[in-house]
Amino acid sequence: MLKNDIKLTHFVLLMSFLTLLLFHFPFYSFVFKNVDYKSLNGIILIMSLMILMLVANAFAFYLFYFLSRFVGKFLLVLTFIINAIAVYFINTYSVVIDESMIGNVLNTNYSESSSFFSVKLIVYIIVLGILPGIYIIKTKVATVPLKRFLITISLSLLFMLTMVFANASHWLWIDKNSKTLGGLAMPWSYSVNISLFYIHKSQKNEKEILLPDAAIRDNKKSVMVLVIGESARSQNFSLYGYRKNTNPLLSKIPHVFHFDATSDATYTTAGVKSILEYKNTGDLYEILPNYLERNNVEVIWRTTNWGEPPVHIKNYQNREFLMPNCKGEGCNYDEILLTGLKDQIAASKKNKILVILHTSTSHGPTYSKKYPARFETFKPVCNSVELGNCSRTELVNAYDNTIVYTDYILSEVIDDLKQLKEYNSAMIFVSDHGESLGEKNLYMHGLPLSMAPKEQYEIPFIVWVSDGSKQLKPNKILSQHHVFHSVLNFLGLQSPVYDEKMNIFK
Where does the pLDDT of residue 371 fall: very low under 50, low under 70, confident under 90, or very high at 90 and above? very high
Q: What is the pLDDT of residues 68-122, one digit of tens each?
A: 888 889 999 999 999 999 999 888 888 888 877 787 777 776 666 677 778 899 9
**What own/partner pairs with CB < 8 Å and gap ≥ 24 does 206-212 have?**
208/284, 208/285, 208/286, 208/287, 208/290, 208/309, 208/310, 209/283, 209/284, 209/285, 209/286, 210/286, 210/294, 211/278, 211/285, 211/286, 211/291, 211/495, 211/496, 211/497, 212/495, 212/496, 212/497
Instruction: Report, as an integer, the average pLDDT of 225-247.
Output: 98
pLDDT at 93: 83
Residue 310 identity: P
How sure is the predictor about 385, in pLDDT bands with cuts at 50, 70 and 90? confident
Q: Is the pTM of this model over 0.95?
A: no
pLDDT at residue number 166: 82
> What would the mean pLDDT of 150-174 be, rounded to a whole number?
85
Q: Which CATH architecture has domain 215-438+449-502?
A: 3-Layer(aba) Sandwich (3.40)
Q: Is the model more confident about 99 or about 495?
A: 495
pLDDT of the residue at 156: 92
With a pLDDT cut of 90, the percent of the chain lying above it is 66
> What pLDDT, on a 0 to 100 scale, did the predictor assign at position 110?
65
| Poorest-pLDDT segment among 22-36, 323-337, 450-464 | 22-36
User: Considering just the CA atoms, what is the radius of gyration of the chain in Å?
Assistant: 26
CB contact at 8 A, 354 and 292: yes
**472 Cβ contact partners less than 8 Å away, ≥ 6 residues apart:** 257, 463, 465, 504, 505, 506
The model's pLDDT over 440-485, given as tens digits with 9 standing for 90+, comes to 888 888 888 888 999 999 999 999 999 988 999 998 899 999 999 9
Checking if the pLDDT of 21 tops 70, the result is yes
Across 280-305, average pLDDT: 94
Mean pLDDT value across the chain: 91
User: Where residue 1 falls among pLDDT bands split at 50, 70, 90?
Assistant: very low
164 band by pLDDT with thresholds 50, 70 and 90: confident
Sorted by where each begins, the domain ranges of the chain are 5-203, 215-438+449-502
